[in-house]
Amino acid sequence: MATQIVIANKDSILIDGGATGNDFILWADRGNALTVPDTIHFIIWNDLPGQNEVQNKDASTGNMTGNTDLNATSDVVFGSTTVADLLTWADVRKLQIEEAKAAYNADQADSKWTEENPFPDDRDWRYYDPNYS
């Protein structure tokens, strides 16, 4: 299971401190299983100095409204979603992205480009991901 996650709501998700590859997920690539309320700015659960926390905001103004400390993976982040749920989700999403990228690469390698059968230029791994949002 992932051990660290930083969610910048509506921007990106950083998993286990990785800044590239499947450990850095753009918000659009998060899939259709993760929805974070607009009242959350950041969710931080990592081993860096500083408090693990949920940074809350007023959804209508964007102004910060305070932080909620996170001390255990059983702590609720929003709704009934816990830190552990987010870490488990992160592992699943990374695997889904890896599988979609592998399917894309296999399709590219197998396709015989001809004018009669062109490989779509705008197709990327997201086309192969049934969980893409």
Note the Cα 95 to chain centre separation in Å.
11
Dmax over CA atoms of the chain, in Å, equals 59
Q: Where are the alpha helices (DSSP H) in the chain?
A: 83-110
pLDDT tens per residue, range 27-86: 999 999 999 999 999 999 999 899 999 999 999 999 999 999 999 999 999 999 999 999
- pLDDT at residue 97 above 80? yes
Q: In this structure, are residues 43 and 54 in contact, taking their beta carbons and an 8 Å threshold?
A: yes
Predicted local confidence at residue 118, as pLDDT: 61
Give, in order, the Cα–Cα distances in Å from 13 to each of 30, 112, 113, 122: 8, 36, 36, 24
Q: What are the two backbone dihedrals, phi and then psi, of residue 93, each rounded to the nearest 5 degrees?
A: -65, -40
